[in-house]
Chain A
Amino acid sequence: MNPCGATTGFFVLGRCGRAAVTVCRCGRQICAEHADQQGLCPECSGAQGYADPYRPGWARGFRRSYYQRSSYDYGDPNLYTGYDIYDRSGFDQGDDFAIGGDVDPDSGDGGWTDS
């Protein structure tokens, strides 16, 4: 039996592990419960429902249009586009203990149990 590779859980994550019935296009083995109608795993299926934020450059482009639209709608360009290079520079290095998570993938605070 090939175990289903979908992630399960809320506070504590684990792997589904039920018997897989199909293979998603990403190569993951998927059980009947976790496969959508196209045979996609939850991760690939979820990504399909939204604008693709992981295309390289998406964040920057979307961000620009989003903030421009917001500034236009609310008539306050300074609020949304007002962070200049000096504003940003204070946040380049250092510690992001509390806000906005941690960009280091090795940080080990992922609450992961079984991998």
Chain B
Amino acid sequence: MTGEAPETQASPAGPPEVRAAYFAFDRFPSTKGSAVHIGQMAAELFERFGGGLLGVLGGGNLPRYQWEPGSGIRIARFGERIPNLIDRAEAYSAWVAAHVAPHVETLRVCHVRDPWSALPVVTAPGRRYPVVYEVNGLPSVELGHTWPLAAPATLARIAELEDFCLERADVVVVPSGVIGTALRRRGVPGERIELVPNGADVPPERPRPDDAPESYLVYAGALQPWQGLDVLLRAFARLADLTGLRLVILSSVPERRARALRRLAERLGVEDRVVWRFTLPHAEVAAWLAGAAVSVAPLTGCARNVDQGCAPLKILESMAAGTPVVASGLPAVRELMADGVHGRLVAPDRPAELARAIRVLLEYPDAARAMGERGRRRVREEFAWAATRARMATIYRSITSNSGITR
């Protein structure tokens, strides 16, 4: 390894100096896929730089400050309850600014995950560190889907904020080629964009969950409209003749988020056959994924998924569990799995087609099992977290040695 190996960093009087910081406007830890991603990326950063500061959202009973003796890692959590999202985002930006300021002299790299983290980091007075801006999604696109009352002009302002930060970032990291293309279209020079795919690790064999039905389809993830759970419920209604089959929905978000979908399940007459589980720990999700006949990722064909792109961790984690996947054949999904090889790809937003693809896999369990096996192999060979982290390590190495700011 090069000069990033931990050096002596502690002044005898105080805590270790902060040479790397990672900021995300997201709760950590949490049961959402984003938290797995944040944890892996931040862990790699801190390993390169002998610890550092992780600035994330808290709330609940998460402590505002935490630090591990010996690891050099400190965690700061923004825990103010500010109901309005714009107010909360701005207050968070100010909080990030206050957490960068004391370390501006010693920071050798800052990694951010969204524009509200990026703004204070790219504009910090006295900044000498390079900034890595990881774009997994664009709030200017996503907020239009989750907040129907958001005005187009407001989303345009958020897009301006994104552009402002993208211009000033030294490296822009994207999890899929589709997002990279979207950013090039928005004017980010291609040479600053680095593709770092999401990862997954093949989990250790675990027993089937005690309360798992005999035969079930599984959906794992959040419940935003672009996930296409409504399409999945409609497809499931078309499988009513398979009386023993259940649909297990492993929601990474709390139960009250599921109200509208539960109403839809009732209306479709399938609610008795849908099994809901909320915010399960990651290891339990892995066991449920492994026990399923088919894992479904019914992403819709909306702008958020198609133009902006996405990199659904649930597909990789299903593959890692050895379970065949039926997913919408969006460009970003094709970067992860191939039709007929690791499962089936179907047109988005077509319940009948989705139901048909699932039915075929259920009817040919040997072929389905082979697809699951190939998926597991692909994750092991191409999408292990170790590979993702190795790419990040290369990026950190190149920006800290080229920028002339290494001390």
Q: What's the Cα separation between A84 and B80 when bound, in Å?
A: 21
- Expressed in whole angstroms, the minimum distance between the Cβ of A20 and any Cβ of chain B is 14
The main secondary structure of chain B at its interface with chain A is: mixed
Q: B149 at the A/B interface (Cβ < 8 Å)?
A: yes
- Expressed in whole angstroms, the minimum distance between the Cβ of B308 and any Cβ of chain A is 12
- Contact between chains at A79 and B83 (CB < 8 Å): no
Q: Which of A46, A95, A100 has the most chain B CB atoms closer than 10 A to its own CB?
A: A100
Count the A-B residue pairs with Cβ separation under 8 angstroms: how many?
A: 216
Residues of B within 8 A of A13 (CB): 29, 62
The listed residue (B31, B67, B223) touching A109 by CB distance below 8 A is: B31
User: Number of B residues whose C-beta is below 8 Å from A?
Assistant: 85
- Expressed in whole angstroms, the minimum distance between the Cβ of B271 and any Cβ of chain A is 21
Q: What's the Cα separation between A72 and B32 when bound, in Å?
A: 38
User: Number of A residues whose C-beta is below 8 Å from B?
Assistant: 63
Contact with B along A27-69 (1 / 0, CB 8 A): 0000001101100001111110111011000011011001100
Contact with A along B128-168 (1 / 0, CB 8 A): 00000000010100110011111101100100110010000
- Contact between chains at A62 and B98 (CB < 8 Å): yes
Q: What's the Cα separation between A83 and B149 when bound, in Å?
A: 15
- Contact between chains at B142 and A98 (CB < 8 Å): yes
- Contact between chains at B64 and A46 (CB < 8 Å): yes
Residues of B within 8 A of A74 (CB): 123, 164
- Contact between chains at A79 and B147 (CB < 8 Å): no
Q: What's the Cα separation between A96 and B242 when bound, in Å?
A: 36
- Contact between chains at B59 and A103 (CB < 8 Å): yes
Q: What's the Cα separation between A115 and B63 when bound, in Å?
A: 12
Q: What's the Cα separation between A78 and B151 when bound, in Å?
A: 16
- Contact between chains at B43 and A10 (CB < 8 Å): yes
**Residues in B lying within 8 Å of A, measured CB to CB:** 13, 15, 25-32, 34-35, 39, 43, 57, 59-69, 73-76, 78-95, 97-99, 101-102, 114, 116, 119-120, 123, 137, 139, 142-143, 146-151, 153-154, 157, 160-161, 164, 222-224, 252-254, 257, 278-279, 281-282
9 closest pairs, A vs B, by CB?
A46-B65, A111-B29, A59-B91, A91-B85, A110-B60, A101-B57, A90-B150, A90-B149, A87-B154
**Residues in A lying within 8 Å of B, measured CB to CB:** 6-8, 10-13, 33-34, 36-37, 42-47, 49-51, 53-54, 59-60, 62-63, 66-67, 70, 73-74, 78-79, 82-83, 86-92, 94-113, 115
Q: Could you name 20 residue pairs across A and B whose Cβ atoms are closer than 8 Å? A: A33-B69, A42-B66, A53-B78, A54-B64, A54-B79, A62-B94, A62-B95, A90-B151, A95-B147, A95-B257, A97-B223, A98-B146, A100-B26, A101-B27, A103-B59, A105-B59, A109-B27, A109-B31, A110-B29, A110-B30
